[in-house]
Structure 1
Amino acid sequence: MITDLSDFTIFSDLPKDSLSQIAPLLKERNFKKNHVLIFENDLSEEVYLIRSGKLKVYRLSEDREIILKIASPGEILGEAEALSNHNYRISTVEALENVSAWQLEKQDFLRIVEQYPSVLRNAYTILIERIRMLNRLIRYLSFYDVRTRTANLITDLYYNFGQWEDSICKIDLKISQSFLANMIGVTRESISKTLAEFQAEGILDIRNKYFYVINKSKLESICNHTEEFPELRKWDNQ
């Protein structure tokens, strides 16, 4: 669990005495798995600093969801709306597991931005990284077949949530077939077929909804039509 404000990218340039002035403005919040912190198009103003747990950020259309990103400890959520001219939420945010966060009111956040220009610069940096990630998602959805989309997404997850266990890389995130399908805009049946192919080819193993990358080079060879360098696959929480 994150206990120091300096571990958040948005506050990483502030000296300790400035962080100590911000700390009293924070309200500790804890959310259970499946709790929705933010609803798309809702009018709300809170900003959240994620201390522990993972969340999904998504949009809904006719009861179908498309997952835009997975948020992790060290990220800030809601700051884009706070800096905007209106408070309508851009997307829905739901806890994938139990989540601990600090809540910051919009007016307090705006006062911090006004007092510390580096916070605004970091907010812009975070926004640019999110735009980069969304551009990659749009490319997946627009140009690639299911096999290439799936390989690219698993590669992204490898670079962001991969942990080594007994010489095999485990993606430290429970992933159902429906969840994966919602991240790349395909049907669960298509994902099921593609994952079965990856397992048969010795690329991937799946145990209890955890993905294990067995052959990374073969996985990345399926992504050879993308221009992404490995370091650009890192999301803004890293």
Structure 2
Amino acid sequence: MKRCIVCLAELDLFRGLESEQCIKLCNCTVKKKLSKGESLFHQDEFSNAVYLIKSGKLKLVQITEDGHEAILDVCGPGEILGELSLYQEQKEVSSAIAMEEAKICCFSRQQFRTLIQENSSFALRIISYLGKKRYDSLQKYGEDTRQTVKEKLLYLFYHFAKEYGESKGEELLIDIIITQQELADMIGASRVMVGQAIKELITSNIIGREKRYYTLKKDPCLCRHTFE
């Protein structure tokens, strides 16, 4: 599949900065390249860094008190991790693990603070970004508490398609390789229940498979979420 590499100047968060500011910021960052399965940071580590995903995808994995592994989210190009360290040094609530080869830019908390001092509009964009992320998280939680396993799974597929979908005729190919166990960990269900739900969705011609990827029908009647 085609992989994109994000440039800082292309992101809404950094749009409007002077070219010199973008160059200065980019030159000061630490670049990391992760292999599949490699961790960017670990749960309970103290962090004072902010990470920008330039290419690839990472899953945020949390180990609960009873030892259960839960996948909180999947993040891709253009997304920011560790943003809470902008306020204070604190422990990470999850581990970030590469699902494929990924390239990351690492910023220090001080770099972001300096940028905010130099450009007040950047502070507003940071607040807006964090607010939207919080809203999306609360909305997802609200949906999860009212849905069946099949509904949760379909909602997740539509979320992935919105973020990583590639148009293929009447379908959207979800450009992410994810296992049934990982899907189960994301929606809080067993792998068996997820497997059965996937079979039902395929039988109903709502989703499909193309090699190692899932596809989703564009028909807006199948779900309340629609795509432009």
User: What's the TM-score once normalised by structure 2's chain length?
Assistant: 0.88
Amino acid at match of 1:29: K
Q: Cα 1:128–1:162, aligned 2, differ >3 Å: closer, same or farther?
A: same
Aligned length: 224
Q: Output the CA distance in 2 between the equivalents of 1:209 and 1:140.
A: 27
- Could you say what secondary structure the match of 1:97 adopts? coil
Q: Deviations over 1:67-90 (max 9, x none)?
A: 222211112221222x22332223
Q: Deviations over 1:100-159 (max 9, x none)?
A: 111222222222222222222222112112112211221233111112111211111222
Does 2:89 align with 1:78? Answer: no
- Could you say what secondary structure the match of 1:143 adopts? coil
- Could you say what secondary structure the match of 2:186 adopts? helix
Does 2:199 align with 1:196? Answer: yes
Alignment of 1:92-131 (within 5 A): 92-131=95-134
Q: CA deviation at 1:208?
A: 3.4
What does residue 35 of structure 1 align with?
A: 38
Q: Output the CA distance in 1 between the equivalents of 2:172 and 2:84.
A: 34
Q: Which of 44, 48, 57 is residue 51 of structure 2 equivalent to?
A: 48
Q: Output the CA distance in 2 between the equivalents of 1:4 and 1:78.
A: 19
Percent identical among aligned pairs is 23
User: What's the TM-score once normalised by structure 1's chain length?
Assistant: 0.85
8 Å CA contact 1:162, 1:169 repeated in 2: yes
Does 2:5 align with 1:2? Answer: yes
Q: Which runs of 4+ in 1 moved over 4 A?
A: none
Q: Output the CA distance in 2 between the equivalents of 1:4 and 1:217.
A: 33
Amino acid at match of 2:81: L
Q: Cα 1:136–1:72, aligned 2, differ >3 Å: closer, same or farther?
A: same
Q: Output the CA distance in 1 between the equivalents of 2:226 and 2:15.
A: 24
5+ residue gaps, structure 1: none
Q: Cα 1:3–1:137, aligned 2, differ >3 Å: closer, same or farther?
A: closer
- Could you say what secondary structure the match of 2:215 adopts? strand
